[in-house]
Amino acid sequence: MTKTTRILAASVIILLVSACASQIDAGVAEDAGTPGFLWGLWHGFVFPFAWIGSLFDPDIAVYAVPNNGGWYDFGFFLGITVLGGGSWFSSKKKRRKD
């Protein structure tokens, strides 16, 4: 398989899987005090700790429902990828000193 074919196949698979993603209407609210971008950023940053806690305590959630939708999701994504380190730690190659 050529590199172009692999990239195209991966793109099609990603698009098909992302088409299944949805959020129930009851999970999106416009009320004052509903978690928004900044809460999403915070929840994304503390995700690893919240996930470990959720394994032992059913009252701990890793994602706030209800939230205000897209802005909360964007903050959550940034919190996980940027503040949480994302792929930065795995992308650094260790250099050998000769």
Top-confidence residue, 98 or 38:
38
DSSP of 33-66: T---HHHHHHHHHTHHHHHHHHHH-TT--SS-SS
Q: What is the mean pLDDT of residues 69-78?
A: 88
Q: What is the pLDDT of residue 85?
A: 62
Residue 95 pLDDT > 70, yes or no?
Answer: no
Q: How many CA atoms lie within 13 A of 82 on its CB side?
A: 9
* Tens digits of residue pLDDT in 1-60: 788 899 999 999 988 887 776 656 656 667 777 888 888 898 898 888 888 998 998 888
Q: Which amino acid, one-letter code, is at 23?
A: Q
Q: What is the pLDDT of residue 69?
A: 81
Cβ 49 vs Cβ 42: under 8 Å: no
Residue 98 pLDDT > 70, yes or no?
Answer: no
Q: What is the pLDDT of residue 91?
A: 58
Q: What is the pLDDT of residue 56?
A: 92
> For residue 43, how far is the Cα from the chain centroid?
10
**Integer Cα distance of 20 and 81 in angstroms:** 22
Domain ranges of the chain: 24-87
What are the φ/ψ torsions at residue 28 (nearest 5 degrees)?
-110, 125
